Amino acid sequence: MNRLSTYWIDQAQLWRGRSLEWWAAHVTAFYIGGAFLIMGAKFDELISLKLNELGDFAAGAFGPVAFLWLVLGYIQQGRELKLSSEALRMQTEELKNSVAQQCEMVASQKVTLQNYERSLEPLLHLQVSSADWQEGEFCVSLIINNTGGYCESVLIKLTATESSERIADPLITGASCSIRFDDLHEWEDFEVVVEYKTRSGASNSQKFIAVSYHEEGYGYSYYVRKLPFLN
């Protein structure tokens, strides 16, 4: 009993797995075969028909087959459109994924370029070496050390009561330069901006602020603090 049940289940799955075209082709073959058998049995009546009657007979006899294949054509067209839509959807997904990957690559390259540019930046350190009266003017001498990358076109600007600037030589790694500013107000706070060009030709600047303070027994002095990059 189990073997018989399994047999019929296998047969049902086999016939259910046939395509619509397969069924349409076999139905058409059976239909046309049956039509020819009937026409053969009624051949005497068939040849006695007039042309218009013969045309009506052919339209009535073979119209269902034509309608069947017309419907099948629409179904097949719908399947192809569905497959085409699915292919377009998959292409769209692939394109979106490709665009996302390209954006990630661009972002990664941008970060890499920024890190590279940052590695070329000089690391400047400023200190006030002296601050005193000379020839009736209060003067401040600065020392700038570079522990980072090479820089050139160095322009040092001091902002206090009146702004003034000095041009310095290019600074290689480990180099330093001394700059003196005259005619300042005694022990006033001031800012120093160092503008330069890196080895890649990019322009940038670093900013410092010098704040005066008084220490009991030692007098006045300056404390220098570096500010974040301006650019």
C-alpha–C-alpha distance, residues 222 and 210, integer Å: 6
Structure tokens at 56: 């009506």
Clarify whether residues 126 and 154 are in a common domain: yes
Tens digits of pLDDT across the chain (231 residues): 566 566 556 555 655 666 767 767 777 777 777 777 777 777 776 677 677 766 666 667 667 777 777 777 777 787 788 888 888 888 888 888 888 888 888 888 888 877 777 778 899 999 999 999 988 889 999 999 999 989 999 999 998 756 688 999 999 999 999 999 988 888 999 999 999 998 888 888 999 999 999 888 788 999 999 987 644
Strand partners, 131: 140
Clarify whether residues 165 and 202 are in a common domain: yes
Helix (H) or strand (E) holding 216: none
The domain of 8 spans: 2-117
CB 196 within 8 A of CB 122: yes
Identify the CATH number of the domain in which residue 188 sits.
2.60.40.10
Clarify whether residues 64 and 129 are in a common domain: no
Would the pTM of this model clear 0.85, i.e. be above it?
no
Clarify whether residues 91 and 125 are in a common domain: no
In order, the DSSP letters of 87-142 are HHHHHHHHHHHHHHHHHHHHHHHHHHHHHHHHHHS--EEEEEEEEEEETTEEEEEE
Handedness of CA 159, 187, 153, 198 (dihedral sign): negative
